């Protein structure tokens, strides 16, 4: 056989490269399948997340109409919103309240002596401590030095100290003044003293009732005053809470106005409507998800059936039925809510309507809220299922990495093994030709010269040689491509093409 033609080994090379390609493709198919499974798990996690959100919304809607105060919602309407507005708490007694606002609350305002240049330094810049003493006993202090001894600097330092006093610099038409505004209420009136730089402490000095104050009071601190049905009230601000056992008054100006407190049918009707709408959304989404990736999950139909059963148990002879208060079912099974029917029935029997939804834990909203609390807890069925899917995705990622690593190792090992086999085939052909008296380089019989050698070049650059009466060949082939390129160079032939599947 004449090995000067390397192309005779091309069929074998194509065979082994095909085997390597098949081996690589098998590993890739396994990775692709893991990708597909992980993608389906991610879709399921997303679907379960949407279901959790729906159920959480339904739980919130149920909680709004569950509990002893769920239907104790009241509105408060004023006959003159410029004088006052009001809001009613759950314990506010219904009725009409006549209110007189005789004085609005306000905070103390002090202004400093005027200065022509607001940016001019005040005093020498030596540190000064300014003390603010409030009538209620509170005390705060601010430090002024060369870094802030101007009108804007002093104002900024007071504001940054967050002592309850707001400071600003105002232009009076001819000069600039420091303006201090305290919190509303007579107990928040304040005096100012200090130590340090005399120019700074004098500029800010003020004591209520003193005649030598550097600062001038332009507004005195005072409380809000008024009466409700003839009973006096006082507030440190213009938001007066706790009036008549559950009213909050927002005072706007002095004058007389009436407040009417009544059941807030708008809030109550809205709460029931929200419950009906959210219930329908949950049932619709549960039905939709059962036809997708979650089709095999038996939890979803069981949950849907349980919610339907809750509606049935919400109607009984002692409390009446949902149909009687305007909640019925359409032909498609969804709930419908007639707000007018509901409001008419509620006006006649508010306590009876309330018991349908909340009755010491046995009402419709009570039961659904409790049931969903169990479903949505971290150890509940849906959360547990999501955790399991996340674990499967992590396991798949680890398996993918393992398959990819093992595949590379196997391919390298197989390629090396095939290269060695091919090398031995070539070596065997060379030996056979040599034994027949043919030089593998010149295709002629070698000269009978003792010690003459002919380089073979088996791909690693090793000094393999032909020797008289003895053949010493130690092939160390690193790859098929290296082997064939070296052989082609040795015999001056084009390199055979290795079809590894990676060519463009």
Per-residue confidence (pLDDT) for residue 491, from 0 to 100: 42
208 φ/ψ sector (left φ>0, alpha ψ -120 to 50, else beta): beta
Decide which of 190 and 463 is more confident: 190
Beta-carbon contacts of 52 under 8 Å, excluding residues fewer than 6 positions away, are: 376, 382, 383
Beta-bridged to residue 74, according to DSSP, are 263
Per-residue confidence (pLDDT) for residue 241, from 0 to 100: 92
- 406 pLDDT more than 80: yes
3-class SS of residue 147:
coil
pLDDT over 90, % of the chain: 45
- 163 pLDDT more than 90: yes
Per-residue confidence (pLDDT) for residue 504, from 0 to 100: 38
Average pLDDT over residues 406-419: 81
- 421 pLDDT more than 90: no
The tens digit of pLDDT for each residue in 5-48 reads 556 777 877 887 788 888 888 888 888 888 888 888 888 888 88
Per-residue confidence (pLDDT) for residue 295, from 0 to 100: 81
Other CB atoms within a 10 A radius of the CB of residue 178 amount to: 25
Per-residue confidence (pLDDT) for residue 481, from 0 to 100: 53
Average pLDDT over residues 461-466: 36
Per-residue confidence (pLDDT) for residue 313, from 0 to 100: 66
8 A C-beta contact, residue 52 and residue 376: yes
Closest CA to 65 of 308, 269, 271, 262: 271
Per-residue confidence (pLDDT) for residue 135, from 0 to 100: 95
Average pLDDT over residues 275-301: 87
- 390 pLDDT more than 60: yes
- 442 pLDDT more than 80: no
- 446 pLDDT more than 80: no
The tens digit of pLDDT for each residue in 240-277 reads 998 888 899 999 999 999 999 999 999 999 999 999 99
> Which band of pLDDT confidence, cut at 50, 70 and 90, is reported for residue 499?
very low
- 466 pLDDT more than 70: no
Per-residue confidence (pLDDT) for residue 187, from 0 to 100: 95
> Which band of pLDDT confidence, cut at 50, 70 and 90, is reported for residue 221?
very high
Per-residue confidence (pLDDT) for residue 257, from 0 to 100: 97
Per-residue confidence (pLDDT) for residue 92, from 0 to 100: 82
| Mean confidence (pLDDT) of the chain | 82
* Whole-structure pTM value: 0.61
The tens digit of pLDDT for each residue in 354-387 reads 989 988 888 889 989 888 888 888 777 788 888 8
Q: Exposure of 119 by Cβ count < 10 A (0-12 exposed, 13-18 middle, 19+ buried)?
A: exposed
Q: Exposure of 5 by Cβ count < 10 A (0-12 exposed, 13-18 middle, 19+ buried)?
A: exposed
Type and span of the H or E element at 408? helix 381-435
Average pLDDT over residues 300-316: 79
Domain residue spans of the chain: 6-38+386-490, 50-69+266-364, 74-104+224-263, 107-219
Per-residue confidence (pLDDT) for residue 344, from 0 to 100: 93
Locate tokens 């009876």: which residue?
A: 352
Average pLDDT over residues 153-158: 96
Average pLDDT over residues 67-74: 84
Per-residue confidence (pLDDT) for residue 8, from 0 to 100: 73
Least confident of 226-235, 292-301, 370-379, 430-439: 430-439
Average pLDDT over residues 434-448: 53
Per-residue confidence (pLDDT) for residue 416, from 0 to 100: 79
Per-residue confidence (pLDDT) for residue 464, from 0 to 100: 35
Per-residue confidence (pLDDT) for residue 454, from 0 to 100: 33
Q: Which CATH architecture has domain 107-219?
A: Sandwich (2.60)
Give the CA count within 13 Å in the CB-facing half-sphere of 333.
Answer: 13
8 A C-beta contact, residue 158 and residue 141: no
8 A C-beta contact, residue 197 and residue 149: yes
- 338 pLDDT more than 60: yes
- 166 pLDDT more than 90: yes
């Amino acid at each position: 056989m004449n090995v000067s033609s390397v192309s005779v080994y091309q069929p074998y090379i194509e065979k082994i490269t095909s085997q390597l390609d098949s081996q690589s493709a098998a590993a890739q198919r396994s990775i692709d399948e893991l990708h597909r499974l992980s993608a389906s798990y991610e879709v399921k996690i997303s679907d379960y997340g949407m279901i959790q959100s729906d159920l959480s919304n339904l739980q919130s809607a149920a909680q709004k109409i569950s509990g002893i105060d769920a239907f104790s919602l009241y509105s408060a309407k004023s006959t003159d919103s410029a004088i006052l507005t009001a809001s009613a708490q759950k314990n506010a007694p219904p009725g009409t309240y006549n209110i007189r606002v005789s004085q609005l609350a306000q905070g103390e305002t002090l202004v400093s002596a005027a200065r022509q240049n607001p940016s001019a330094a005040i005093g020498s810049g030596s540190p000064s401590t300014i003390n603010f003493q409030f009538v209620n006993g509170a005390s705060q202090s601010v430090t002024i030095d060369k870094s802030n001894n101007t009108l804007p600097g002093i104002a900024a330092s007071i504001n940054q100290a967050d002592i309850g006093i707001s400071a600003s610099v105002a232009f009076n038409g001819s000069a600039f003044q420091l303006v201090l505004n305290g919190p509303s209420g007579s107990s928040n009136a304040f005096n100012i003293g200090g130590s340090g730089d005399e120019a700074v402490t004098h500029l800010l000095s003020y004591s209520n009732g003193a005649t030598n104050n550097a600062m001038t009071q332009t507004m005195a601190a005072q409380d809000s005053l008024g009466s409700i049905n003839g009973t006096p009230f006082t507030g440190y601000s213009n938001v007066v809470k706790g009036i008549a056992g559950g009213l909050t008054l927002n005072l706007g100006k002095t004058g007389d106005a009436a407040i009417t407190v009544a059941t807030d049918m708008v809030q109550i009707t809205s709460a029931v409507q929200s419950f009906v709408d959210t219930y329908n959304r949950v049932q619709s989404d549960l039905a939709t998800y059962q036809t997708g990736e979650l089709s095999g999950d038996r939890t979803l139909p069981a949950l849907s059936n349980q919610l339907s059963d809750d509606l049935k148990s919400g109607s009984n002879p002692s409390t009446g039925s949902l149909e009687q208060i305007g909640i019925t079912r359409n032909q498609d099974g969804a709930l419908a809510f007639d707000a007018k029917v509901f409001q008419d029935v509620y006006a006649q029997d508010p306590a009876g309507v309330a018991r349908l939804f909340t009755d010491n834990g046995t009402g419709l909203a009570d039961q659904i809220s409790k049931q969903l609390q169990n479903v949505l807890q971290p150890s509940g069925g849906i959360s547990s299922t999501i955790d399991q899917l996340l674990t499967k995705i992590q396991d798949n990622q680890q398996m993918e990495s393992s398959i990819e690593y093992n595949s590379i190792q196997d391919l390298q090992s197989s390629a090396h093994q095939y290269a060695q086999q091919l090398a031995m085939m070539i070596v065997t052909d060379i030996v056979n030709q040599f034994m027949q008296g043919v030089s593998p380089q010149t295709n002629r019989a070698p000269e009978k010269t003792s010690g003459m050698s002919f380089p073979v070049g088996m791909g690693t650059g090793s000094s393999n040689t032909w020797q008289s009466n003895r053949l010493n060949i130690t092939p160390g082939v690193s790859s098929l491509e290296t082997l064939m390129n070296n052989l082609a160079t040795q015999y001056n032939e084009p390199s055979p093409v290795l079809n590894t599947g990676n060519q463009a």
